[in-house]
Structure 1
Amino acid sequence: MAEQAQRRWRAACPNCGAPVEFASAASASAVCGFCRSTLLRSGDTLSRIGQSAEIFEDYSPLQLGSTGRWMGAGFSVVGRVQRGSELGNWNEWHLLFDTGGEAARVAWLSEDNGQFVISLEVPLAERPPEAPGVGLPLTLAGQRWQVAAVVDAALRAAEGELPRPPQAGRVVEVRNVQGEVGTLEYAETGPPIWSVGRAVQLAELALQGLRTTAEGESIAEAKFAGRSIACPNCGAPLEPKLSQTRSMTCGQCHAVVDLPEGDAKALGFVAQSPGREPLIPLGRTGTLAFDGDKPLPWTVVGYQERCDIPEDADDEQSFWREYLLYNRLAGFAFLVDTREGWSLVRTLTGAPAPAHGGVAWQGRSYGQRWVYGAKTTHVLGEFYWPVRLEDHVQVADFVTGDGQYLLSREQQGPEITWSGGRPLPAEIVQRGFGLSAPAAQFARDASAFSSGGKLLRNIVVGLFLIVLLFALLRACSSDDCQQYKDSFGENSNEYRQCRAASRGSGVYVGNGGGSYGGFSSGGGGHK
């Protein structure tokens, strides 16, 4: 016999007899916390319809029973679905809002490229397209969207109370200029489920009941601290610091290893040669602030070196570096280091609108600067998406007229990721991370991002003078590429490329229009 107590409803699991509790009368499914049976609720009856896999531990500070507030309303976390695709894995937390007697709307708190999104399920009057193309515009629910991803999402596991039995199926993700992300979920049965969400910061949700130890450390991280996996290349132990890590570099043989879920053995890896050490060491924590936000502590958990892919052999090749930063409540960000300067960026929830000669985003116009292919050439540390050496992505970079705001669009396979940020003075990077390296390694000119008329003319004139000076002094110069050697090191790609060009043509000109790097993750789990 089921029990009705206040708003909650309780019944025995038909498989093991353990109590299964529903906090919402609208919830139609649950996963038994004892035997992992997937249960379907029909009136006062529970029936077993399947078996859920074990939840794999991750970095999320959330857990069933956590509470918070959003838009003036309180909520509690009552369920979770873990999904995955070739782009990575992600969580969808089912939220139950205190609606004051009104019918509860189905709400989710989900991961979105290292950030967080709260979305509400909304009735959809029209029939959506069956096969929208990635990158194409789409009108749906009276709004203009851009298709950001089309993936086959597998069901990894589930727990707690859910609005319906979880299923695998195709997921279409769309984004708009208002900073919203929409999701169409196509399951094997029933019409597509439509939801619309916006980015949130966990620190803004007044969260209570998070997973912590007595010392305040995340339980997920505490459990994960002892995890050790043998490197499939050399056998050395791999000990990831974050449990959401999907790829990491072996400290012994430098192989890039795909990490499994749970305690399975790591099988996939790609060998790579040792590279030079990054300017900011892995594990270093520094304080940086995004535009308008308060400074936060960010820890360097990953590092990758990337380059563009020249269209022909005569084109100059550009190189840059990206540091993956992590903050427990703010998610992930990227600190990008190029020959033009430093920049701090993070992924966008929405998508800019096309505009004449570029795009528009949050009241600013961005001109298109470059379009190019790019690839990753070297990695260190850990990444929340599966990193692949030599994987090709297509990148388009945009910049405002004053050079103070940057956007980047990166497409890899079935997903498009937009990222944005601002140039960052080198001294802020150096001071924020407490670094004592020579100033020449940091002090690159972030003002070179500007495409303003006067500055652009000065750059052109400056480049001409540099070419002339290098040509005149080549005969008496022992090393035409000394500036790159001082800034990036003798073993850097920039210095080697410069030396190769000098031997071939006699004169090498530094990057006068190369990329400042793709700001997006190049992968990662979406919602």
Structure 2
Amino acid sequence: MAESQRRWRASCPNCGAPVEFASAASASAVCGFCRSTLLRDGDTLSRIGQSAEIFDDYSPLQLGATGRWMGAGFAVVGRVQRGSELGNWNEWHLLFDADGTPRVAWLSEDNGQFVLSFEAPLDEAPPPAPQVGQPLTLAGQHWQVAAVIQATVRAAEGELPRVPQDGGVVELRNERDEVGALEHRQDLSFVWSVGRPVQLAELALQGLRTTAEGDSIAEARFKGRAIGCPSCGAPLEPQLAQTKSMVCAQCNAVVDLPEGDAKALGFTAQSPGQPPLIPLGRSGSLPDASGKPQTWQVVGYQERCDIPEDAEDEQSFWREYLLFNRLAGFAFLVDTQEGWSLVQTLTGAPIPSRKGATWKGRAYDQRWTYQAKTTHVLGEFYWPVRLDDRVQVTDFASADGQFLLSREQQGPEVTWSAGRTLPAATVQKAFGLATAPAATFTRDAAAFNAGGAKLLVYLFFGLFVLLLLGALLRACASDDCQQYKTSFGENSNEYRQCRANTRGSGVYIPSGGSYGGYSSGGGSHK
């Protein structure tokens, strides 16, 4: 046994390999040779169990990487891989050692983003039974309960502040863009931490993983991962390190990607469907949530619709393009009957109000609440995609209709997202779609401007135009649904729905109620 500076080193009691602790505050480690879970008690190491093998998920981080945050340096010294019904995620243990005082921090995955959290004392009893979506006061702050889950430890490696255990996790969010996590452990203790979203570029990381070709795995693309499609056998070659589901280009099967190099087993068959207006892989420049222009690449595409409460109600359909930027993360470009918008998942949670919600000082009025489901997908996704996934959605808009909020609840998790409308010409120019049919890009978001009399004017004017167009089309012996055929395609949901409604009644008038799901549609926890 030897001690050098603040590091402490001992031999694994199971295999004799060296085990090193960078911090005196760390109480546990996993032997890198035999995978034994070790407990440190003073100068003694004891073996208390066996950790499973870490599954290779192509994270850009690795043990030994270093970085800086708010002027303080840190090192990546450990990792816990957890899982639940919402998917699997990493929690990287960061050791900050400013002024000789170690601080326990975690860098965790959160809906395609990263959250940096610091552990803190909690001088009060945790709430007995928090409910998802409800307000909660804890540690002197007001929160919204975003998730209540049972998390399982899949594997661990390196140096940890305590032995990892299965247990319940209550995730909290607030209007300051903070994330609170309350972990209930099997030994009846609990751990409280508070964090904020960060981008990897802000952390000045050094020592990230690289591919065999020497490229940083933090880049959008990486090489070497190829999996056979379990439906047709064609090779699946995901282009993003975060991809957890993708669609086979050969047979259109939706495939859950395995952990590491395991064989993919699960898939869901689907028909080819209508090609997306913006091709997968296409890049374009659009502003992010802060208004800063970013180059986004289309990596995924999904079609969704609402689920009418009454059989006589019309359905609304929309499309979501999953966009990726290495520094800004993920965003959604949403195409609805009313127009286009760009939205991103929030780390925090808006404040509920009498008429709707408030976020970043801006008031939003509640518009519609409905159930939505996913009907068709293409490309890659950072969460496990499921056809026919159903979520409860509530949409909000600012008074001028330019800013949007959406709340989605699926099972034990609530996800908020925010964004703003985009002129159709901006989308067309950004992605170089000059050859697309003009009618496709005339769906500007004028209907979002839902302030009092303006909304009525738009509705009556729109109704008049639709009736007039219907009459003209019938008079010319043409298709009553030509406008949907031109804008969305002959095989689109809008056109098929229109045809079904005009067989006995003439003109189809869309419900126009839904914005379309402005959130991740099932993004994995953490």
TM-score relative to the length of structure 1: 0.94
> Mean alpha-carbon deviation: is it higher for 401-410 or for 203-212?
203-212
Query: Equivalent pairs: percent with the same residue?
Result: 75
Q: What is the match of residue 363 of structure 2?
A: 365
Superposed CA deviations along residues 462-506 of structure 1, whole A, max 9, x for unmatched, are 123224414532531402222211211111111111122122321
SS at match of 2:53: coil
Stretch moving more, 445-454 or 404-413: 445-454
The C-alpha deviation readout for 1:341-383, integer Å capped at 9, x for no partner, is 1111111111111101101111011000110000000011121
Deviation, structure 1 residue 70: 1.7
Instruction: Tell me the TM-score normalised to structure 2 length.
Output: 0.95
Name the CA distance, whole Å, in 2 between partners of 1:332 and 1:291.
11
Matched residues in 2 for 1:315 and 1:216: separation? 56
Which residue in 2 is equivalent to 1:313?
311
Q: Which of 207, 226, 229 is 2:227 aligned to?
A: 229
Offset at residue 224 of structure 1 (A): 6.4
* Worse-superposed segment, 421-430 or 448-457: 448-457
For the 8 Å contact 1:463–1:509, the answer to whether it is kept is: no
Counting only pairs closer than 5 Å after superposition, residues 349-428 of structure 1 correspond to structure 2 as 349-428=347-426
User: Counterpart in 2 of 1:94?
Assistant: 93
1:268 aligns with: 266
2:498 counterpart of 1:498: yes
2: CA distance, partners of 1:211 / 1:501:
55
Partner of 1:250: 248
Aligned CA distance change for structure 1 residues 222 and 448 (closer, same or farther; 3 Å): closer
| Conserved? CA contact 2:59–2:217, under 8 Å | no
Structure 1 residue 216, shift from structure 2 partner: 6.1
Q: State the Cα distance separating 1:162 from its structure 2 match.
A: 0.8
Query: Hey, what does 2:32 align to over in structure 1?
Result: 33
Across the aligned residues of Structure 1 and Structure 2, the Cα RMSD in angstroms comes to 2.0
Query: Following TM superposition, by how much is the alpha carbon of 1:321 offset from its aligned partner in structure 2, in angstroms?
Result: 0.7
Preserved contact between residue 392 and residue 410 of structure 2 (Cα < 8 Å)? yes
Equivalent residue letter for 2:44: T
Deviation at 1:410, TM superposition (A): 0.4
For residues 124-523 of structure 1, the aligned pairs below 5 Å read 124-213=122-211, 217-219=215-217, 225-436=223-434, 437-470=436-469, 472-477=471-476, 478-511=478-511, 513-523=512-522
Q: What displacement does 1:82 show?
A: 1.1
The whole-number CA distance in structure 1 between the counterparts of 2:387 and 2:250 is 18
Matched to 1:232, the amino acid is P
User: What's the secondary structure of 1:504's corresponding residue?
Assistant: coil
Note if contact 1:275-1:378 (Cα within 8 Å) is conserved in structure 2: yes
Give the secondary-structure state (helix, strand or coil) at the position aligned to 2:485: helix
CA contact under 8 A between 1:301 and 1:381: conserved in structure 2?
Answer: yes
Query: Are 1:67 and 1:76, in contact at CA under 8 Å, matched by a contact in 2?
Result: yes
**AA at the equivalent of 1:316:** E
Contact preservation (8 Å) 1:134, 1:150:
yes
Per-residue deviation at 1:124?
1.1
Alpha-carbon distance in structure 2 between the residues aligned to 1:185 and 1:261: 25
Retained in 1: the 8 A contact 2:220–2:239? no
Is 1:466–1:509's contact at 8 Å kept on the other side of the alignment? no
Corresponding residue of 1:65: 64
Of 110, 126, 131, which residue of structure 1 is paired with 2:108? 110
Structure 2 stretches lacking a partner, 5+ long: none
CA distance in 2 between counterparts of 1:362 and 1:272 reads 41
Could you say what secondary structure the match of 1:9 adopts? Answer: strand
Q: CA deviation at 1:265?
A: 2.6
Would the alpha carbon gap of residues 180 and 459 (structure 1) be closer, same or farther in structure 2, given more than 3 Å must change? Answer: same
Is the 1:59–1:221 contact (alpha carbons within 8 Å) kept by the matching residues of 2? Answer: no
The number of residues matched between the two structures is 524
Structure 2 residue identity aligned to 1:93: W
Residue 377 of structure 2 aligns with an amino acid whose one-letter code is V
| Distance (whole Å) between structure 1 residues aligned to residue 35 and residue 284 of structure 2 | 42
Give the deviation of 1:246 after TM superposition: 2.1
- Amino acid aligned to 2:349: A
